[in-house]
Amino acid sequence: MTGETRTPPDMDQSDIRFRIAAARRILYREGCDSNVGGHVSARDEHRADAFWVTGFEYFDQTTPEQIVQMDLDLQPLVGRHELSPAVNFHALIYKRRPEVKAIVHLHSHYLSVLSSTGKEVGMYNVASVLFHEEQATYFDDGVKSHLDVVDALGDKLVVHIKNHGAIIASESIEHATIEALTLEKCARLHIECEAAGGSEILEAEVVNGKAMYRTYYLRHMWEANLARLRTSDPDLFDTGCRTAIS
């Protein structure tokens, strides 16, 4: 999957490619790296039939110039990078769900552990309310098409893939990033709280808390994590130090 390489000299922080690269750096810094197999994508903001997606590399290696644009039939439009065959489920989700603007697929540690149980993240922590009635599960038996995971996701925010990880399909790259790193934290809390004999939050608090967390937590967490990158990942902000993949 290759195409023309173009590196706009005026790329800034509003560019979706910068935001995808920043998303992957944030995920890495928050313990969500997934070896070279995780991928992050975002629907093109100017054309509904295209999306930008990342290739095989660690999350903290990503720069905006490495991100590839594909159409929904997986034809390359801009950029050149070796891509996982699993990018086809990104395209299918974008085809089926026009409200989805960004997708994160990750194999982070605690999500991978929890996925082995076939369970969803329980309401053991206040941040877990983000995922109340927003989760599905999927088991890949190695025989059926892996695109069946899109059927399992349905209209949910999250699908947990047994013995694998999770997919988050959200309304923006910013929300998808914070939801993904929060899902990982909540998976760890689920495992540890369950082992300790803890109990889940009561339904009324979950419902009330979900609205508050969606209003304030997602936006402020993105802004705070992006600010941190200026110290931890200065190369991301220095376009003069980056070169395009050719």
Please report which confidence band the pLDDT of residue 4 belongs to, taking 50, 70 and 90 as the band edges: very low
pLDDT beyond 90 at 9: no
Name the packing angle between helices 16-29 and 173-196 (round to 10°): 20
Model confidence, pTM: 0.91
Name residues whose C-beta falls within 8 Å of residue 58's C-beta, 6 or more positions apart in sequence: 28, 33, 35, 36
CA distance 241 to 218: 31
CA distance 156 to 93: 11
pLDDT beyond 60 at 115: yes
CA distance 106 to 112: 9
* Cα Rg, the chain, nearest whole Å: 18
Q: Pairing relation of β-strands 68-71 and 76-78? A: antiparallel
Whole-number pLDDT of residue 81: 74
pLDDT beyond 60 at 53: yes
- Across the chain, mean pLDDT equals 90
Q: Which long-range contacts (CB under 8 A, 24 or more apart) does 45-50 make?
A: 45/16, 48/98, 50/77
pLDDT beyond 60 at 21: yes
Whole-number pLDDT of residue 11: 58
Please report which confidence band the pLDDT of residue 37 belongs to, taking 50, 70 and 90 as the band edges: confident
For 127, other C-beta atoms within 10 Å of its C-beta total: 20
Lowest-confidence range among 1-10, 157-166, 222-231? 1-10
pLDDT beyond 60 at 1: no
For residue 54 the two structure tokens come to: 């990342």
pLDDT beyond 90 at 241: no
Q: Are 92 and 147 in contact (CB under 8 A)?
A: yes
Please report which confidence band the pLDDT of residue 206 belongs to, taking 50, 70 and 90 as the band edges: very high
Lowest-confidence range among 16-20, 36-40, 89-93? 36-40
* CA end-to-end distance (rounded Å), the chain: 13
User: DSSP class of residue 38?
Assistant: -
- What domains are there in the chain, each with its CATH number? 16-241 (3.40.225.10)
Mean pLDDT of 125-153: 92
H/E stretch holding 53 reads: strand 50-53
Whole-number pLDDT of residue 13: 86
Whole-number pLDDT of residue 238: 81
